[in-house]
Amino acid sequence: MKMSRLSPTTILCVWLTAAIVMAQAPAPSVKNGLKRNLAVYGFEDKTDHKIHWYSGQNVGDGMSDMLTTGLVQSGRFRIFERSQLESVMQEQGLGMSGAVVEQTAAQAGRLLGAELIVMGAVTEFGAKRSEGGGAIGKIKIGTQTLSAIVAVDVRLVDANSGEIKWSGTVRKEETKTGLSLGTPDFAFKDQKDFDESLIGKATRAAIDETVQKLTEQVGSVPWQALVAAVTGDKIFLNQGSESGLRADMVLSVFRQGEQVTDPATGEVLFSTEEKVGVIKVVDPGLGNGKASSCDIVEGSGFQRGDVARFE
């Protein structure tokens, strides 16, 4: 079989068509793969009865620790743990007793270098038993259904402004039915005992869904870093290659202005800001990838605490 040969003109046309298609295709986003800096607070325990975690913790701290582990395992975040936040709050005299408000949480998280704060409350954590029955012929058979219920309210807060970016509720229930199930027992010997219990399974399901929801919501919030220092014509950011920053990335720098709050609730509605200038990443590997140095492309008057993000 004789194969026809393409003419030089045809080859040129094919090459030009491919080049045009490639030029029109959307370029990959420079923001792909960037990790977010999250701080996770201990959850409030708002349940009616104070059930202790298998390790002796209260339920709120136990669930926030599980959430921290789940977020780390997702590979999408750099996490500041509860102990780090507590240390900063104690050093700054912010207080750790009672519920932590968004503005206080944002202040402590910002001092650590967090972009976003995860706060929450456990609103349900318990079990209930219901009786049922049936009959086989003339023989009556009694059954029991045991249900474990876990519910959490979660808020995602902007560490720079104190604004609530997202809030939601996750509620999970696990059940089993049998002839005699006994009384729900919350005296767990260890983590394995907890994980295999109904309440443990409901807790795991609630944590997994919370991780999924937070991952989805964080993606809609612009990635940002903070200016950690300004030395001459060099700008240093508090994020580097560990977060996914690469050399030659270009970011715009903004300065937060006035916070506009709801006069009734005190909630931060939004913050005004002004653009300071533009910078380009030179070395994202400072501090083992935790920081980066940048050159100034345009602008002046950069200050520590300014916000850098992609436009």
pLDDT in tens, 108-139: 887 888 889 999 999 999 887 766 555 444 55
- Structural domain boundaries enclosing 199: 36-126+152-170+189-218
Q: How confident is the model at residue 186 (pLDDT cuts 50, 70, 90)?
A: low
Radius of gyration of the chain (CA): 27
Pair 198, 235 in one domain: no
Instruction: Tell me if 17 is assigned to some domain.
Output: no
Angle at 86 between CA 84 and CA 92, to 5 degrees: 105
Query: In this structure, are 74 and 158 located in the same domain?
Result: yes
Is the pLDDT score of 174 beyond 70? yes
Does any domain span residue 175?
Answer: no
Residues 196 and 264 occupy one common structural domain: no
Please state, in angstroms and rounded to a whole number, the distance separating the CA atoms of residues 259 and 256: 8
Task: Note the pTM of the prediction, 2 decimals.
Answer: 0.72
Task: Pick 263 or 9 by higher pLDDT.
Answer: 263
Is 101 in the same domain as 64?
Answer: yes
Q: Whole-angstrom Cα distance, residue 279 to residue 275?
A: 12
Percent of the chain with pLDDT over 90: 39
Mean pLDDT, the chain, integer: 80
What are 167's strand-pairing partners?
155
- Number of domains within the chain: 2
Domain identity same for 207 and 78: yes
- Residues 121, 237, single domain; the answer is no
Q: Identify the pLDDT of residue 160.
A: 77
- Which of 107-137 are b and which e, b meaning 16 or more Cβ less than 10 Å from the residue's Cβ? bbbbbbbbbbbbbbbbbbbbbeeeeeeeeee
Name the range with the highest mean pLDDT among 73-82, 244-253, 269-278.
244-253
pLDDT of residue 40: 92
